Amino acid sequence: MHRVGLVIKRGEAQAFALGQKIVEFLNQSGRTVLLEKIFADGSQNWSVQFSDRIADDADLLVVLGGDGTMLRAAALLNDKPTPVLGINLGRVGFMADIPPHEALRELQATLDGSALFVERMLLEVSVPHCKTAKVLNDVVIHWGGIARLIDIGVRIGAAKEIELRADGLIVSTPTGSSAYSFAANGPLMHPDIQGVILTPICPYAGLKRPLIVPPDFTIDLVLIKGERFNLTLDGHTTIDLGQGASIRIRKAPVPFVMVQRRGHNYIDLLREKLKLE
């Protein structure tokens, strides 16, 4: 791993301070450090190279932020499964679970090959006339104006279409099962299990309960009734869609590979973060 990319939470002073320490650490070990071009103005004194395709150009991504920054890193991936080391500077820490004081130690372990890597399923979302996107947590379809029911045609694999009338629909990965889907009464799913969760939001007719389908099933959605819809990807990208628009969701061809903190236990993490007593 000779080329290390930094993905930094925007506007976060702590992330920039730690980023500078990591740059110095990597420079001393002879590595090339890559930074997104959007940070060029704030890092003039750093010995780095700038890239607008950082996930493709790097051998490792180091994420400085929280789970939201991890989701942004996932969106940067194309067809190369660049591994990700997440340093938690946020409030949640489901994915970015390495505390700042362990950052350099875990980074060294990653560089010398002794770190623990795990794979998490990504979804690939295709919308006509839009760039195909990678999603680590969830895809959400909801009304784009005033609150009212919308009609969505749901086709799973080769099965006949199901018409859903609801406030919206969440399509999530196992990683995303503890996020919006869980808040909408969806099931918690261990991330080592592969599958796709369809969770209706306040359903009125059609699919009234969450449904888990195999990961290799293609999910096609058609917006049947409604003047304006929003498609939100991992909480950071929103696409406006109109009636008749179609969306295709499938398992991405590459996984999200990340460094997992030693001693990590998913059930204990759920207990702590979701206050499961």
Just list the catalytic residues.
67
For the sheet with 84-88, list strands across it. Answer: 49-51, 32-36, 3-8, 60-65, 84-88, 256-260, 116-120
Q: 242 — phi, psi (to 5°)?
A: -110, 175
Strand partners for 140: 170, 232
Q: 232 — phi, psi (to 5°)?
A: -110, 130
Determine how many CB atoms are found less than 10 A away from the CB of residue 231.
22
H or E stretch covering 67: helix 67-76
The contacts found for 42-45 with CB under 8 angstroms, 24 or more apart, are: 42/16, 43/16, 43/19
Q: Which residues contact 142 (CB under 8 A, 6 or more apart)?
A: 150, 167, 168, 201, 229, 230, 232
